[in-house]
């Protein structure tokens, strides 16, 4: 077999091609076990300069047949991989995939993240090690989800976009999110305004936001991002945003909801557990040090 890389430009029609495979490889009733359609949709908020990378698809050809086996999202020194279930444990595909990945990554410190598979061994043989900082992956059954008071969506209130963006900026230190970034994200075809949540308090102020992403009916969805305005933290608004998002996902036909956060982010871990999420596993990227 031979493996070739084909770069996809960060445009709506190209993102849809990559998203097709991400959705195809997401099993029914799964727990979002690798890079998700929503990870791609969220990344496309960035312009090409900010992304400092791109979208890639790897195709295996042989015996007159060609099939896509991996999708990569490169953001500077970080390459996120999604691999078709049958290809993740194929050593020849893994070696060829990593050879190409190393050509894409810049020199120095770099990271590769992806599902379980032989590719990790391929990198370990080259001296890469597991990143000391782990991420915890949560999942929640959403069959019992209900929409709390104070929740609205951008489908119902399209004029609230500017306020939604401002609330997200106030939720994350050093946030670079802008209205232009939201427009790029919303124009990809992967985004659904019915899954973009704004929470308001009794005075009508926007206090928390959450964006959810669907991979298809009967498949797991993800939340990315979830944030509470810094002036309203510690009052339970983030939990309400999460509850609102998973209720909308249930209505859209998702089988469950997943989210990942750094294991050391105690506030986020507590939030998702309070909202009924169950930790499934902790994972680590593969890391090459600067030397």
Question: What residues pair up with 219 in beta bridges, in sequence order?
Answer: 28
pLDDT at residue 157 tops 60: yes
What value does the mean pLDDT of the chain take? 91
Q: pLDDT band for 15, please (50, 70, 90 cuts).
A: confident
Q: What token pair was written down for 222? A: 């993800």
Q: Which residues contact 64 (CB under 8 A, 6 or more apart)?
A: none
Classified as helix, coil or strand, 119 is helix
Domains of the chain: 2-132+284-288 (3.40.630.30), 138-283 (3.40.630.30)
**Could you read off the pLDDT of 144-156 as tens digits, one per residue?**
999 999 999 999 9
For the stretch 71-112, pLDDT in tens is 999 999 999 999 998 898 999 888 888 998 999 999 999 999
CA distance 71 to 27: 16
Instruction: Please give the pLDDT value at position 245.
Output: 97
Q: What tens digit of pLDDT does each residue of 170-223 get?
A: 999 999 999 999 999 999 889 999 999 999 999 999 999 999 999 999 999 999
| Alpha-carbon gap, residue 28 to 184, rounded angstroms | 29
Q: In the prediction, which pLDDT does 8 show?
A: 57
């Amino acid at each position: 077999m031979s493996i070739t890389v084909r770069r996809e430009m960060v445009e709506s029609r190209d993102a849809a091609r990559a998203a097709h495979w991400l959705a195809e490889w997401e099993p029914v009733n799964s727990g979002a076990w690798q890079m998700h359609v929503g990870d791609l949709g969220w990344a496309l908020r960035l312009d090409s300069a900010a992304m400092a990378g791109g979208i890639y698809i790897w195709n295996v050809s042989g015996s007159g047949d060609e099939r896509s086996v991996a999708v990569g999202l490169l953001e500077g020194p970080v390459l996120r991989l999604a691999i078709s279930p049958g290809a993740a444990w194929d050593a020849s595909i893994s070696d060829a995939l990593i050879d190409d990945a190393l050509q894409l990554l810049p020199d120095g410190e770099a990271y590769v993240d992806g599902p379980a598979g032989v590719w990790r061994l391929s990198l370990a043989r080259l001296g890469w090690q597991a990143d000391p900082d782990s991420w915890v992956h949560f999942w929640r059954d959403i069959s019992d989800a209900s929409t709390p008071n104070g929740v609205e969506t951008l489908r119902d209130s399209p004029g609230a976009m500017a306020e939604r963006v401002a609330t997200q900026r106030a939720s994350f230190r050093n946030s670079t999110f802008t209205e232009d970034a939201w427009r790029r994200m919303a124009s990809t075809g992967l985004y659904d305004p019915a899954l973009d949540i704004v929470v308001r308090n009794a005075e009508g102020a926007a206090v928390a936001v959450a964006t959810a992403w669907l991979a298809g009916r009967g498949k797991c969805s993800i939340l990315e991002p979830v944030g509470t305005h810094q002036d309203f933290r510690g009052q339970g608004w983030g939990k309400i945003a999460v509850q609102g998002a998973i209720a909308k996902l249930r209505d859209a036909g998702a089988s469950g909801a997943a989210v990942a956060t750094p294991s050391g982010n105690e506030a986020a871990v507590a939030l998702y557990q309070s909202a009924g999420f169950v930790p499934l596993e902790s994972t680590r990227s593969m890391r090459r040090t600067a030397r």
